[in-house]
Chain A
Amino acid sequence: MIPLVLYVLLASAMFTIGLYGLLTQRNGIKLMMCVEILLNSANINLVAFSAYLPNVNGQVFALFSIALAAAEAGVGFAILIVLYRLYGTIELDNINALRW
């Protein structure tokens, strides 16, 4: 059995990667991807602890989270498509009509 600490390390690594991407990238799609990575790092944690305890609640929770992420991705990409049609770009720095 793979020790729990490795899962936690993997989840931490993914979280950090996702956070880094979120802070540094300006491309809308990349940001969506980073958000997905963040969510999945949390899912890994949930599933790992669920198997370790053992308690199935964590896996149920992870499934909900995946469904939610799918819905979120659908809405997010729809917004990005509309933005692209309006501005011809999805570089978020250029989309600043409401900014001072």
Chain B
Amino acid sequence: MYQDYAYLIVGLPILAFVLTIFLGWHLPKGGGFITVLATFAGLILSLGIFNEIYPNDEIVHQSMHWFSSFNAGILIDPLAIVMLLMVTFVCTMIHTYALGYMEGDPGMARYFAEAGLFTAAMLGLVFSDNLLQLFIFWELVGLCSYLLIGFWYRKPSAASAAKKAFLVTRVGDVMFLAGIVLLYTNMVKLNLTLPDGAYLLQFQTIYDSLTLIPPDQLTWIAVLLFGGAVGKSGQFPLHVWLPDAMEGPTTVSAMIHAATMVTAGVYLVARMFPLFYAAPNALMVVAYVGAFTAIFAATMGLVMFDIKRVLAYSTVSQLGYMMAGLGVGAAVGAASVGVSIFHLIGHSFFKALLFLCAGSVIHAVGTNDMREMGGVMKHMKWTGLTMLAGSLTLAGFPLTTGFFSKDEIIVTAYEHGAMGFGWLPYLFAIGAALLTAIYTFRLWFLVFDGEARSDYHKHESPWIMLGPLVILAIFALFMGMPSQESFYHYVGNNFDHFGVDFEELAVIGGHHVEHGHVSEPFIIKILPIIIGVGGIIVAALFYSRWKRFDPGMVTSEKDPLRKILLKRYYQNEIYTLWFAEKVVYGIALFSNMIDLKIIDGAVNKISAISVGFGGTLRKVQTGVIQNYLTAIVLGLAVLMILIELASMGVAI
């Protein structure tokens, strides 16, 4: 019954967008409660649909003809329903929190309108049943992120961060679109006879025809689609926009980093997992890029002093985990989708929680700089405790959600290595896990522990902000344990609904099909626990009230490594100063010259010829009556002579 109203999951937030953007100015709190209610209704609907389809392991598929060979449709399978639940739930929390956080901002109505559209776009992306529709919502997500990151558009840094986010993700989007076009042309070439109601870019059709498309083409398609995911999900080397996206309100960061936007890339790869699996080498690219991003971003998270930037780098790092989790699917097949998406869901709970806590702290303290905080715990008990919950699960403390999901990815990465696909993802993942624990608790201790290092405002946030924090904290801590096995099973078998035969695809992709898992040594199983707890202890020894060491003992201002990290690997220098200003600007100048000289030149030349010709020709019209008269007389004379000759019988 609920599934008949599935379209309302997206429809209601869009309605909220329309209402708040036009009427929000006249409503209390900018009409924010409309967005909250719409998102909450989406959550109720999603829960209802989940209840209907989970017991019998069904899927919902509705589709209608759109134009020529395309359709618009709704596909709710296990992969989509868990995403829908997560997005609606986390967004409800974030919007509720924003009611308190954005209080008093003159642009409140605009905020809630854009937030509503953002939510709608993400939900639409998740439940699309074909790649084209997914791409449309994908672009809408990009647009909303631009609007929201640049929400305080009068601030130059916010405007430039918005532009950066838009341009960098655009690089990925272009690749994504190229991937779709390549896939489409390949599918057209197959000359499939489609059953009634099936369309070319529908996921079902794509999965069905994977075995028919040439493998080298598959690899190209997969790499291009992955390019889109790299841009959206902030993977190396297109991660540079994510830390800058901090310029928006903290709730926007929470939305971008947790529920919407960045998870879209991971979702895309998960959605197209059969294609990646069938394409030779594609998953290897995913695994290596993801794992490298995980450790690369974690190292930068270690040295940042801006509380939101630390969290931003941790997001990049955790997204790297998710990608790596999908990538190591070369070893374990579709089960890795369950593992990776589980981390995605868990991550969105605790990352939303962490950002909202950080927002609560910033709201009270009035600064982003952790060096000016310290001892906040005394004044903000609830925020401190909920943030501790978020930090524990991010660090992978045993029995929290993050522990299960991250542990599973690391173990899968180990299997990936053990089966001879390469050890690098495992090493990166385990290294990043250690760094994650350290920087997370460095942040927590710096902010909440110790003595106040500056004279900041000391007050707890209102309950409309704390309520969502507590709910999210409960989920972040305890969601993992009861649900993990059934989750892996439920989402991991997602593609069975489409009749995808992974053994057949493995042959194309050049993976060996392994029956039964490789058994991991005991040390591998407990290593993540040791590393997680060890990292927390290391952070405590350096930064907490029980500190035994000073950070200055291992590093100093002159330490080149520290300098590189603080400079963020000179990415800014490489991207902006070298790549943008030298290479791109040079190309732009060259293109401009071609445009002016050759393209404009040709047009100008043609018009100059016409003008010159006309100018010469109009001299014929002298404007002197005598000239006309002469012509008339001469003409008349010639005519008369001709008539005379004709009457004399001369053949003319």
Residues of A within 8 A of B (CB): 19, 22-24, 26, 92-93, 96, 98-100
Contact between B618 and A100, CB atoms less than 8 A apart: yes
Whether B633 contacts A19 by the Cβ 8 Å rule is: yes
Cross-chain pairs A/B with CB under 8 angstroms, 20 sampled = A19-B633, A22-B626, A22-B629, A23-B626, A23-B629, A23-B630, A23-B633, A24-B626, A26-B626, A92-B624, A92-B625, A93-B624, A96-B623, A98-B623, A99-B622, A99-B623, A100-B618, A100-B619, A100-B621, A100-B623
Report the minimum CB–CB distance from B638 to chain A (whole Å): 16
Closest residue of B by beta carbon distance from A99: B623
Chain A residues in 8 Å Cβ range of B626: 22-24, 26
A40 to B619 Cα, complex, angstroms: 35
Closest Cβ of chain B: how far from A18's Cβ, in Å? Answer: 11
Residue of B nearest to A22 (CB): B629
Interface residues of B in 509-555 (CB under 8 A from A): none
A97 to B544, CA, bound (A): 94
Q: How far is the CA of A99 from the CA of B630 in the complex (A)?
A: 19
Interchain CA distance A99-B625 in the complex, whole Å: 12
A93 and B624 CA atoms in complex are apart in Å by: 8
Most chain B C-beta atoms within 10 Å of own C-beta, residue among A23, A26, A96, A98: A23
Q: Which residues of A contact B618 (CB under 8 A)?
A: 100
Q: Which residues of the partner chain B approach A93 to less than 8 Å between Cβ atoms?
A: 624
- State how many angstroms separate the Cβ of B242 from the closest Cβ of chain A: 66
Which residues of chain B from 603 to 651 have a CB within 8 Å of any chain A CB? Answer: 618-619, 621-626, 629-630, 633
Most buried by A among B622, B623, B624, B626: B626
Assembled-state Cα–Cα distance A34/B431 (Å)? 111
Closest residue to B621 on the A side, CB-wise? A100
Residue of A with least CB distance to B630: A23
**In the complex, A100→B624 CA distance in Å?**
11
When C-beta atoms are compared, the residue in chain A nearest to B633 turns out to be A19
How many A-B contacts at CB < 8 Å in the complex? 20
CB-CB nearest 7 A-B residue pairs: A99-B623, A23-B626, A23-B630, A23-B629, A22-B629, A100-B618, A19-B633
Extra inter-chain contacts (6) besides given A22-B629, A98-B623, CB under 8 Å: A23-B626, A23-B633, A24-B626, A93-B624, A96-B623, A99-B623
- Cα distance, A74 to B114, chains bound together (Å): 80
Residues of B within 8 A of A96 (CB): 623
- 1/0 contact string of B191-208 vs chain A (CB within 8 Å): 000000000000000000
Query: Closest approach, in angstroms, between the C-beta of A14 and any C-beta of chain B?
Result: 16
Bound together, the chains give a CA A24 to CA B625 distance in angstroms of 11
- Closest residue of chain A to B619 (Cβ to Cβ) is A100
**Which A residue sits closest to B627, measured CB to CB?**
A23
- Residues of B near A26 (CB, < 8 A) are 626
Closest partner residue, chain B, to A98 (CB atom): B623
- B621 CB, nearest partner CB in chain A, Å: 8
Docked pose: A7 CA to B626 CA in angstroms: 28
Please indicate the chain A residues that have their CB under 8 angstroms from the CB of B625 in the complex: 92
Name the residue of chain B whose CB is nearest to the CB of A100. Answer: B618
Q: CA of A47 to CA of B410 in the docked complex: distance in angstroms? A: 124
List of B residues within 8 angstroms of A98 by Cβ: 623
Closest to A19 in B: B633
In the bound assembly, the distance between CA atoms of A99 and B626 in angstroms comes to 14
Contacts of A19 in B (CB 8 A): 633
Q: How far is the CB of A67 from chain B (nearest CB, A)?
A: 25
CA distance A23 to B629 in the complex (A): 7
User: Complex Cα distance A24/B626, Å?
Assistant: 8
Q: How far is the CB of A39 from chain B (nearest CB, A)?
A: 15
Q: Whole-angstrom distance from the CB of B326 to the nearest CB of chain A?
A: 75
Q: How far is the CB of A47 from chain B (nearest CB, A)?
A: 24
**Complex CA distance for A44 and B315, rounded to whole angstroms:** 110
Task: Give complex CA distance A19, B633 in Å.
Answer: 9
Q: How far is the CA of A32 from the CA of B589 in the complex (A)?
A: 67
- Closest B residue to A26 by CB, please name it: B626
Task: Closest A residue to B625 by CB, please name it.
Answer: A92
Collect the chain B residues with CB atoms within 8 Å of residue A22's CB.
626, 629
Q: How far is the CB of B345 from chain A (nearest CB, A)?
A: 79
Q: Kindly state the separation between the CA atoms of A100 and B623 in the bound complex, as whole angstroms.
A: 8
In the complex, chain A residues whose CB is within 8 Å of the CB of B633: 19, 23
How many angstroms from the CA of A92 to the CA of B629 in the assembled complex? Answer: 15
What is the minimal beta-carbon distance from B619 to any residue of chain A, in angstroms?
Answer: 7
User: Given the complex, which residues of B lie within 8 Å of A23, measured CB to CB?
Assistant: 626, 629-630, 633
Query: How far does the alpha carbon of A16 sit from the alpha carbon of B621 in the complex, in Å?
Result: 26
- Give chain A nearest CB distance to B628 CB in angstroms: 10
- How many angstroms from the CA of A22 to the CA of B632 in the assembled complex? 12
Expressed in whole angstroms, the minimum distance between the Cβ of B543 and any Cβ of chain A is 87
CA distance A26 to B626 in the complex (A): 9
Q: How far is the CA of A96 from the CA of B625 in the complex (A)?
A: 11
Alpha-carbon distance A96/B633, docked complex (angstroms): 23
**Contacting residues, chain A, for B623 (C-beta < 8 A):** 96, 98-100
The 8 A CB mask of B65-101 against A (1 = contact, 0 = none) is 0000000000000000000000000000000000000
Contacts of B629 in A (CB 8 A): 22-23
B328 to chain A, nearest CB (A): 81
Report the Cα distance A31→B619, complex, angstroms: 24
| Closest Cβ neighbor of B626 among chain A residues | A23
Q: Which residues of the partner chain A approach B630 to less than 8 Å between Cβ atoms?
A: 23
Give complex CA distance A98, B625 in Å: 13
Q: Which of B5-54 contact A (CB under 8 A)?
A: none
CA distance A99 to B623 in the complex (A): 6
CB distance from A2 to the nearest CB of B (A): 27
* Whole-angstrom CA separation of A24 from B444 in the bound complex: 106
B621 partner residues in chain A, CB cutoff 8 A: 100
Q: Nearest chain B CB to A21's CB is how many angstroms away? A: 10
Q: A19 to B630, alpha carbons, bound, how many Å?
A: 9
**Distance in angstroms between the alpha carbons of A72 and B532 in the assembled complex:** 113
Minimum CB–CB distance for A69 against chain B, Å: 19
Q: What is the bound-complex CA distance between A99 and B619, given in angstroms?
A: 10
* Bound form: Cα–Cα A100–B615 in Å: 10
State which residues 315-367 of B face A: CB under 8 Å: none
| Complexed CA–CA distance, A99 and B628 (Å) | 14
CB distance from B630 to the nearest CB of A (A): 6
CA distance A51 to B563 in the complex (A): 123
* Shortest distance between the CB of A81 and any CB in chain B (Å): 19
Q: How far is the CA of A23 from the CA of B622 in the complex (A)?
A: 14
Complex Cα gap A45–B629 (Å)? 23
Name the residue of chain B whose CB is nearest to the CB of A96: B623
Give the complex CA separation of A96 and B622 in angstroms: 10
- Report Cα–Cα, A60/B275, bound state, in Å: 104
Please measure, in the bound complex, the distance between the C-alpha atom of A92 and the C-alpha atom of B621, giving whole angstroms.
Answer: 16
A residues less than 8 Å from B622 (CB atoms): 99
Contact partners of B624 in chain A: CB under 8 A: 92-93
Alpha-carbon gap, A98 to B621, bound state (A): 12
* Residue of A93, A96, A100 most packed against chain B (CB within 10 A): A100
**Contacts of A92 on B, CB cut-off 8 Å?**
624-625
